[in-house]
Amino acid sequence: MSQRRQSWSLIIHGGCTNSCPDVETQREIQRSLGPVLEKAVSALKAGATAKEVVISAVTALEDCPLFNAGKGAALTIEGDHEVEAGLVDGHSGSYGAVSCVTTTKNPILAANAIIQHGVHCMLVGNPADDKAQRLGLETVPNTCFETASRRAYWESTSRNRQQPIELESGTVGAVALDIHGHIAAAGSSGGIAGKEKGRVGDTALLGAGLFADAKLGVACSGAGDEILRQLLATKIANQCSRGFDIENATRRAVSQFALTGKPCAVVALDSRGEFSMQSTARLFSTASASSNHQPTVDMSCTTYPVLPQHVFFYDQQILAGLSRYPTTRGQALVNLRQPGVHLFSLDRENFLEVMSSIKYLALTLHNFYNVGRCALVSEGNGSFSIVPLHGLEKSWEAVTSNEKEFQETFQGYVSSRDGPAMDSERLAQIAATIRQETGLEKPWNHHFKGDHGDSNLFARLVRGELPQSRVWEDKEHVAFLTPFANTPGFTVLVPREHLTSDIFSIDDAEYAKLTDATYTLAGHLMKAFGVHRCGMIFEGFEIDYAHVKLIPIHSREAHSQSLEPGPMTEIAPYEEKYQGHVTSLNGPLLRDQESLVLDASSLRKMIPYERIQPPRSWKSPQEHARVVLSASWYKNLFIIQDSLFHTSVDFFKLGVNYKYAFVPATTNAISSPIGLGSDSQSVPIDLLGQKTYLADSMQFALEYTLRIEDGLNGVYYINTSFRGEDSDAMHLNQFCHVECELAGDFDQGISVAERYVVSVISSLLRDQSDTIEASAGTTEHLTAFLELYRQHDQNLPRTTLEETLSLPEMDQTCWDYVVPDDKAHGRTITRAGERKLIEHFGGAVWLTEMDHLSVPFYQAYIPSTSRSKARCADLLLGNREVLGLGERHVSSEEVRVALKQHEVPEEPYKWYLDMRDQKEMKTTGWGMGLERFLAWVLRHDDIRDLVTMPRMKGTDFLV
């Protein structure tokens, strides 16, 4: 008897929104999700099926007026309700859905009834209601779906056709994995407010807003028409089938959706119980639990703080873009690129580099928006907000806010507002706590770098002329508690010299010292209070003296079994003019999204881009191993190589259904033997007393492997190859090869090769464009290749050798004889000729029908050319050949003739002849040197820089 599986997982969502419900409504939403989650968890633990659990959860949410599903559904343009729901059982593959339902109380139950009793998968409108009623489901008047808030919203938007109709929040869904290992997904929605009658959304449609099979479950929310157009759930499933884990699969699909600028959110889980929640919307209400994770109810903030089209700067450490939820014009968000890293968890060197970049970006925004200065706000997580301060006078004047606030624990944001005067006894207690960590003792250092008559408050505090709660100091800086703290431990750091309060405008050296001191002090504060984060603010309009505000982030005690909601999200007002304080809160959604795209584009043009350059460390073999570990060039190369490998495997496995061939590193029958047409020198070795060769290619092995199993489309490998010529900018002794052999002719081979290159380039553009741009400076050459391919009806241009040599620009430097001064052995194109040919065609081009004696013997003859022409091609890309392709001889007799013609001895290739006698096949093969291809991708002219662990003739490398 098999043992019952015990792991389970569950995610419930209450929809996403770009608006922000008030705090009490957010709490109500979370309080509503909590009991639904608890009931579902109990059911899963008791052995309920995933299908039963998601039906029950969605039914409960349909009955809750807070959500845009069932009771609480949005109104159509005519002021009534049409609701929809879908259900899919990944175990059985069953699917049922209803849409445009008007009287069925719980549309998810109708969807289930379709599965149980229906002939069809989906019913729409009155027939769906009639079917539900016949099956005994509860029906209600259409007005029962209405709530006062939905009616009021409809009155203020849909009824007034002059105003835009916004997406309603609250679509509900659930995905579950039960203890039997089965997955199910369900969704229900009232659609968008003001929708036309008869509109069918994504929520109920399998593959659009809903998906489940044996391995994956997905439920979506957001801009339903766009989700439907993009088949978002299907895209996530496709990413998973390509081998990506649930987090990366969901992230990749939603990243593509983010380019639309429209809101969407996704919950997904896999058969292992791992789940992912991604959202481009401001808020996404979720509740989740599993056998490995405690129950959690959350109003999750967007996982895409900056949309791709709003990005204006990125490097290895940070990404910066304009906020779509600004509190003022031009507000920018800067995010650390390393996931899960907090600001002060960076090591000191990286922190200082990040702060240097932020200064540069702040000055860029200052100039672009023509403001007096910019402020900086961070909650100490992985995100910063740079806030242009509009409306300032040219000369400094104090600008303050009379609003007070105090947070004993973190409430979801930090602010520069003052708090009420703190009790002196508590202030002293807090100061003592910090000093115990910093080790500060009296007498304090009252040295001040400047005029001792300076009456500025901070100058007097540095000199010790006023009572203070000093907590830390060094030779250059002083830190003290403010008596008007808005949170316990709010600390102000100042230099001993009176510098301008516009921190971003101070000298680079002074700025570096101040940020270095900030890093030190923040570390002390976090240790003193036992917190993991420390907020930071640069502002400077209470006192004109450089100062940094540091705010310990005091989290509430975690209760492992509690579903008590955390801090609620609030919205700060949008202000045209600086109001005397800054906050980490987001503002309302900016209506004019196009202006963000235009501003981001202009900002990108203002920022000079420095390409990452290779260190050329291969020139110093003894130093190379050390340099690689710290060089950004090699880090980027490693990332791109990994992407290239996995994309290649995906293409061959999923795109053309080829099988992988395991091939050895040595061979007795090299594919470029000594003889006419050989394009490389062999690498002979003595392997345990046996004379053999390191393979320059395993093309012959691929031809052999293709014959093992009947009916194969093709075989491929990605492996190391060896060549004996001296290494130079175009050649390596040891390089990486992707090669394939397919059952088919020359044209079929070219088609597959082109599709492969297009697939790889498209994938690199999608996944690694930032990394490529960091080294190449652009990706325009990649997009130009794809455009060239499209312009030629999804083909690349071709030209024969004879056509090429007839071009007027092909002078004597562009070609040569295979054997000098012997015309009979044919001609070959030189490197100069390749470059001119690429220029002539404006990009990639196939050079075909070469003279047979200029290529290796194994290439098939073109009929009616008296064996003078080969059915082969080179793909020229950038300024060189990148991929070589050829159709093979079919019969052993053709091979014998070619061996003799090329003056190659027959004996080492006897097995190659026998193989054809045993199984004749028309095959075509091609191979691409990955280093040459990557040199083109990175717009680099020396492939020796494209190898992390090089092997070069006559050179010893440590790794």
Quote the percentage of the chain above a pLDDT of 70: 96
Confidence (pTM): 0.77
pLDDT digits (tens, 9 = 90+) for 420-442: 999 999 999 999 999 999 999 99
Peptide bond into 856 cis (omega under 30): no
Contacts for 124-133: CB closer than 8 Å, 24+ residues apart: 124/98, 124/99, 124/100, 124/200, 125/99, 125/100, 125/101, 125/198, 126/102, 128/98, 128/99, 128/100, 128/101, 128/104, 129/101, 129/102, 129/103, 129/104, 132/98, 132/101, 132/104, 133/103, 133/104
Q: In this predicted structure, what is the pLDDT of residue 565?
A: 52
Q: In this predicted structure, what is the pLDDT of residue 954?
A: 78
- pLDDT of 577 > 90? The answer is yes
pLDDT digits (tens, 9 = 90+) for 287-335: 999 999 999 999 988 999 999 999 999 887 899 999 999 999 999 999 9
What's the CATH architecture for 9-301?
4-Layer Sandwich (3.60)
Q: In this predicted structure, what is the pLDDT of residue 667?
A: 86
Sequence-distant (6+) residues with CB within 8 A of 427 are 469, 481, 483
Q: In this predicted structure, what is the pLDDT of residue 678?
A: 60
The amino acid present at 706, given as its one-letter code, is L
According to DSSP, residue 209 is labeled T
Q: How many residues does the chain have?
A: 959
Element (H, E) at 632: helix 632-650
CA 751 – CA 894 distance, rounded (Å): 25
Sequence-distant (6+) residues with CB within 8 A of 330 are 322, 365, 368, 369, 371, 388, 599
pLDDT digits (tens, 9 = 90+) for 545-576: 999 999 999 987 533 344 455 567 788 999 99
Task: Identify the bridge partners of residue 296 per DSSP, sorted by sequence position.
Answer: 288
- pLDDT of 769 > 50? The answer is yes
Sequence-distant (6+) residues with CB within 8 A of 836 are 807, 809, 810, 814
Sequence-distant (6+) residues with CB within 8 A of 274 are 9, 245, 246, 247
Nearest to 488 by CA among 552, 425, 414: 552
Domain ranges within the chain, ordered by starting residue: 9-301, 308-606, 622-946
The alpha carbon of 679 is separated from its chain's Cα centroid by a whole number of angstroms, namely 41
The single residue of 76, 102, 171, 491 carrying the catalytic annotation is: 171
Please give the radius of gyration of the chain, using alpha carbons only, rounded to the nearest integer: 34
Q: Which residue has the higher pLDDT, 133 or 727?
A: 133
Q: In this predicted structure, what is the pLDDT of residue 696?
A: 87
Task: Identify the bridge partners of residue 686 per DSSP, sorted by sequence position.
Answer: 691
Q: In this predicted structure, what is the pLDDT of residue 339?
A: 82
CATH number of 308-606: 3.30.428.10
Mean pLDDT of the chain: 91
Sequence-distant (6+) residues with CB within 8 A of 196 are 76, 77
Question: Which CATH class name applies to 622-946?
Answer: alpha beta
Residue 171 designated active-site: yes
Token pair 């056709």: residue: 161
The mean pLDDT of 60-72, rounded to a whole number, is 95
Element (H, E) at 841: helix 831-841
CA 828 – CA 805 distance, rounded (Å): 10
The mean pLDDT of 128-136, rounded to a whole number, is 95
